[in-house]
């Protein structure tokens, strides 16, 4: 199973903390992580194996959206910062729309992400 992880700058530490808390579930279920570039670099430093794509503003959100459309990505965990403006908002909305179109679970905060991963216990 492939899970995409993305976090805006103000949420990257929260993503790393979340993944550390869910480490057993991720390893036990052999979940493959893919990520936008900067989030992936932070996650790698925390000891996770992740396939990194471009940074979000440089097209990474669009690359992950393509994986959703192709049926390669089974879940997206995207810790968004709703209080900040982001220059790549069209890509973010495209990713969210494609998750809806292709019926791919999308969590935009730790509470929802935890509920989704609980199904693997």
The catalytic residues are 61
Neighbours of 121 (CB within 10 A): 8
Q: How many CB atoms lie within 10 A of CB 22?
A: 18
Rounded Cα gap, residues 86 and 71, in angstroms:
27
Specify the residue for token string 């530490």: 13
């Amino acid at each position: 199973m492939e899970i995409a992880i993305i976090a805006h700058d103000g949420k990257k530490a929260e993503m790393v903390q979340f993944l550390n808390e869910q480490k057993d579930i991720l390893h036990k279920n052999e979940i493959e992580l893919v990520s936008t570039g900067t989030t992936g670099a932070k996650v790698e430093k925390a000891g996770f194996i992740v396939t990194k794509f471009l940074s979000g503003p440089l097209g990474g959100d669009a690359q992950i959206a393509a994986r959703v459309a192709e049926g390669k990505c089974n879940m997206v965990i995207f810790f968004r910062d709703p209080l900040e403006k982001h220059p790549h908002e069209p890509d973010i909305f495209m990713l969210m729309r494609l998750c809806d179109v292709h019926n791919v679970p999308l969590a935009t905060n730790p509470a929802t992400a935890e509920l989704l991963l609980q199904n693997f216990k």
